Structure 1
Amino acid sequence: MQPLAFARPGRFFRGNLHTHSNLSDGALAPAEVCRRYRAEGYDFIALTDHFIGAYGYPIADTRPFRSPGFTTLLGAELHSGAMENGELWHILAVGLPTDFAPARAPGFAPVEGQETGPEIAARARAAGAFVAIAHPQWSGLTLADARSLADAHAVEVYNHGCATGADRADGFHTLDLLLSEGRALTLVATDDAHFHGPDHFGGWVMVKALENTPEALLAALKDGAFYATQGPALHDLRLENGTVHVDSSAVTTVIVQGAGSAADAVQGEALTRTDLVLARAAHSPWLRVTVIDRAGRRAWSNPLPNPAAAQGRG
């Protein structure tokens, strides 16, 4: 078994899916945000300003900033309704149409009578967007909250802005619990860049597509043909007869995680081709791979089903 990111034809394109400008609470104009990401070697970004009334419900039109070798996806960070902790939902929507109808969300606090988070997420997905549960740890998201967001494609498992500004970057606990309940979800790493501090160029996705166009990238995101990273590269990933084969840039650790406490690991020096025989994770219904380099930077595969799990239960 080979995940789509490595099985399908095309090449990998580097992109950030969570970015802010001065159309909401970011420090820089959209043109400068795009310029900086392009200069840093990104192939695409999504500018996702806060979709609230205080900012005029912006969906930044970044189409003028596209150029050969660099493109943009239109999107927003949606807010509507209260989570269990009483705070406003934060939902990432990439690939929104410019005429996406605003919620009744005047500011960063829930108001009576507005759409719920699950309702606005469903509306975004129906409008063609790739939808992700944003920064679960930072938000104080509960498992009940996460379960209710049935239209999410992905969970934001690493948020660089939340790492640098709050030390609450993680979404893996939420993702893994949902996977173990049978949800089909992928995972994304992002910056959530506002450019008020060092919240940029720290986490991204590598999307496999035939061309660097908004249409091809969005389709690949929805298909799960990508991986997430802080720097290390994944070149190939295969699951064959209880062994996970990983080709990567030089790393020191390769881990396969599964349901519950299941995990198997290999440590070494300058690992680039790793064969990991599953033991504790052998009968997990889902598996995902983490690689860690000498600097502590990580890359993460999307989850994949484990055919041996059904055999083990039989």
Structure 2
Amino acid sequence: MSQSFFDLPGRFWRGNLHTHSNLSDGALDPGEVCRRYKAEGYDFLALTDHFVGEYGYPITDTKPFRDEDFTTILGAELHSGAMENGELWHILAVGLPEDFAPSHSPSFHPVEGQETGPELAKRAWDAGAYVAIAHPEWGGMTFADADSIKHAHAVEIYNHTCGVECDRAHGHYMLDQLLSAGRRLDLCATDDAHFSEPDSFGGWVMVKAEENTPDALLAALKAGHYYSSTGPELKGVSWEDDCVVVQSTAVKAVMVQGKGSRSACVYGAGMTRTEVPLDKLKNSPFMRVTIVDAAGNRAWSNPVYR
């Protein structure tokens, strides 16, 4: 096994996949949102305003804010139908066409006659979007809810706004439950920034592509040619028969997670090339890597499968 995209042509581009402007419930206009991400060193941004009727079903046009150093991918946070707890679905869709048809979602409350969440996710997938199950911990999503979304590329493993506002940032438990049930999904870290609180620049993806263009980035995202981070960098992940070799910026822990309780970890100081034995994960159908730096920030690889 090998995550060969580290060796593919191109370079890594840093981007945020989940963001809001004042065209929905964000505090800043789209141009200022894009300016701030560019100023912070991001290469691309998906501005994903809430796709509900009270905001006019926006797919925010960020094309005017692209230049030779910074690009954008059009998208939206989609809503329709109710989860098991009665709350509205939140589905991240990056790479939507501008004419994506509105759902019957007048507000943030479920109403009769709506598409279900799974139906809306499929329609976004069919329209060419990269689809992610958004902030499962924040919304009280059950396993049955998440597993019903059959057309998804990823689960949000980290959502910075959900961490800032209510300490419900994570999706790793839901991701691993889905992987253990046989689903094949990637993961992504995002901001979900609204700029009404300190909720920006906390989680991002690093996408390996030859060009910093919407089409190249979207193709790489769908192919899983990226990793996610809140700080440290992954330089390479090489899966061998009996170990995984992880190259990174300096970290204090390198972990491998698998099905159920199967896991392994190597601890140290300033580790940049780490071999983690896999004898404890011999029977796991999937494995993924987490690295942790001295400040407690993390980066995550996408899963690999036996």
TM-score computed with the length of structure 2 as normaliser: 0.99
Partner of 1:67: 67
Contact persistence 1:5–1:227 (CA under 8 A): no
Contact persistence 1:5–1:207 (CA under 8 A): no
- Percent of matched pairs sharing the same residue: 66
> Aligned to 1:179, what secondary structure does the other structure show?
helix
Count the aligned residue pairs: 306
Partner of 2:244: 244
Partner of 1:103: 103
Partner of 1:269: 269
Shift of 1:243: 0.6
Shift of 1:7: 3.2
Shift of 1:194: 0.0
> Aligned to 1:255, what secondary structure does the other structure show?
strand
Q: Which amino acid is 1:43 matched to?
A: D
Change in 2 beyond 3 A, CA 1:45/1:4? farther
> Aligned to 2:6, what secondary structure does the other structure show?
helix
Partner of 2:186: 186
Structure 2 distance, partners of 1:42, 1:73, is 13
> Aligned to 2:147, what secondary structure does the other structure show?
helix
Q: Which amino acid is 2:269 matched to?
A: E
Q: State the 4+ residue runs in structure 1 displaced beyond 2 angstroms.
A: none
Q: Which amino acid is 1:129 matched to?
A: A
Shift of 1:242: 1.4
> Aligned to 1:207, what secondary structure does the other structure show?
strand
Q: For residues 269-297 of structure 1, give each alpha carbon's deviation from its aligned partner in whole angstroms, at most 9, with x where no partner exists.
A: 00000011112222211000000000000
Q: Which amino acid is 1:33 matched to?
A: V
Change in 2 beyond 3 A, CA 1:170/1:269? same
Contact persistence 1:4–1:224 (CA under 8 A): no
Structure 2 distance, partners of 1:282, 1:8, is 28
Q: For residues 30-78 of structure 1, give each alpha carbon's deviation from its aligned partner in whole angstroms, at most 9, with x where no partner exists.
A: 0000000000000000000000000000000000000111000000000
Is 1:289 aligned to 2:305, yes or no? no
> Aligned to 2:194, what secondary structure does the other structure show?
coil
Q: Which amino acid is 2:288 matched to?
A: R
Shift of 1:264: 0.2
Is 1:141 aligned to 2:138, yes or no? no
Partner of 1:299: 299
Structure 2 distance, partners of 1:69, 1:292, is 30
Structure 1 distance, partners of 2:71, 2:111, is 36
Structure 2 distance, partners of 1:182, 1:206, is 26
> Aligned to 2:281, what secondary structure does the other structure show?
coil
Partner of 1:89: 89
Structure 1 distance, partners of 2:234, 2:114, is 42
Shift of 1:8: 1.9
Q: For residues 10-49 of structure 1, give each alpha carbon's deviation from its aligned partner in whole angstroms, at most 9, with x where no partner exists.
A: 1100000000000000000000000000000000000000
Q: Which amino acid is 1:245 matched to?
A: V
Q: Name stretches of at least 5 consecutive residues in structure 2 with no aligned partner.
A: none
Partner of 1:207: 207
> Aligned to 2:68, what secondary structure does the other structure show?
coil
Partner of 2:30: 30
Is 1:226 aligned to 2:226, yes or no? yes
Structure 2 distance, partners of 1:99, 1:143, is 32
TM-score computed with the length of structure 1 as normaliser: 0.97
